[in-house]
Amino acid sequence: MKIGKLSLTTGTNIETIRYYERIGLLPLPDRTPANYRSYGESHRARLAFIRHSRELGFTIEDIRSLLDLADHPDRECSAADRIASRHLERVETKIEHLLRLRDELMRLIGDCRGGLAADCRVIEALGDHAFCEGHHA
C-alpha cells in the first residue's frame, strides 16, 4: 500500500510516518518501480503498535525498547514490565501534580470576588506566587 493508504488505515499523519522512518522506529519500505513507497501488513502492524504506545504516553525511547523486545520474541519480557512500571510511576506523578494544580485553581477561582481586574485575586496570585497555598510548579 502507498503511504496515503497507510496513513488513512492507521490514522497517522504522513509526516509522522516519515518521521518514524527517519528515527528508525518504522523500517523503510520497499519502493515500487515508479519509486513510490510500498508498505505491507508488517508496517501497518508496527505503526499501530507505535501509535497505541504513544496514545498511552510512552516515550520514543520506551517504544524503541519495546519494539526491540517485540522483534525478539524469544527474549524474556521482564524489560517490558520494567518499562511499563516506570511509565506508570511517571503517570502517577503527573496525576498528583495535576491534582495539586486543580486544587490551587479551584481555590483561586473560589477567592475571586468579581469586580475590577485591579482587585482580581486570580491575577494577583498569578503575579505573585506568595498568594498561592502550595507548591504546584
Residue 65 cell numbers, joined: 525498547
Does position 119 have pLDDT exceeding 80, yes or no? no
Looking at residue 71, its pLDDT comes to 95
Domain that holds residue 31: 3-56
Looking at residue 111, its pLDDT comes to 80
What total of structural domains would you count in the chain? 2
Q: How far apart are CA 20 and CA 40, in angstroms?
A: 16
Residue 74 included in any domain = no
Residue 9 cell numbers, joined: 488505515
Residue 65 included in any domain = no
Q: What is the pTM of this model?
A: 0.79
Residue 21 included in any domain = yes
- Region of poorest pLDDT, from 23-32, 104-113, 127-136: 127-136
Rg (CA), the chain: 23
Task: Calculate the average pLDDT of the chain.
Answer: 92
Section 92-118 average pLDDT:
88
CA-nearest of 118, 10, 14 to 55 is 10
Residue 120 included in any domain = yes
Rounded to 10°, the helix 14-22/3-10 angle is 100
